[in-house]
Amino acid sequence: MRYTDELDALRAARDDLRRRIAERLALEAGAPCDGPSLEAWLTAADEAIEAWENEGEEAQDPRAFRPIGPLQDLLADHAALVERIADALDRRLS
């Protein structure tokens, strides 16, 4: 039986969400997200992820009175995965 690390699956999901965020940003801008422009959109995705992380917890609350769109859903999912990865790493270190 081959050894599998639970963190590998979480990291792969996180990376997939990063790519999906880049694709969503490109879609909302009406631009293609393939070929040479992919790297620029991944950089934009990293910036969006960082901005989402730096916003207050209240701005990310899905129960807030304002609707959130597909991009915000992806960003919230990414933040949740990052938190799960951090929790798994903390459990390993304790």
Altogether, the residues listed in the chain come to a count of 94
Per-residue confidence (pLDDT) for residue 4, from 0 to 100: 76
- pLDDT, average across residues 59-63: 59
Q: For 66-84, how does the pLDDT look when each residue is reduced to its tens digit (9 = 90+)? A: 667 899 999 999 999 999 9
**Confidence grade of residue 85 (pLDDT, cut at 50, 70, 90):** very high
* Contact by Cβ (8 Å): 52, 60: yes
**Whole-prediction pTM:** 0.84
Distance CA 4, CA 9 (A): 9
Question: Domain limits of the chain?
Answer: 6-93
Tell me whether residue 55 is exposed, middle or buried, using C-beta atoms within 10 angstroms of its C-beta: 0 to 12, 13 to 18, 19 or more. exposed
State yes or no: pLDDT of 58 exceeds 60: no
Using the predicted structure, report yes or no on whether residue 60 has a pLDDT greater than 60: no
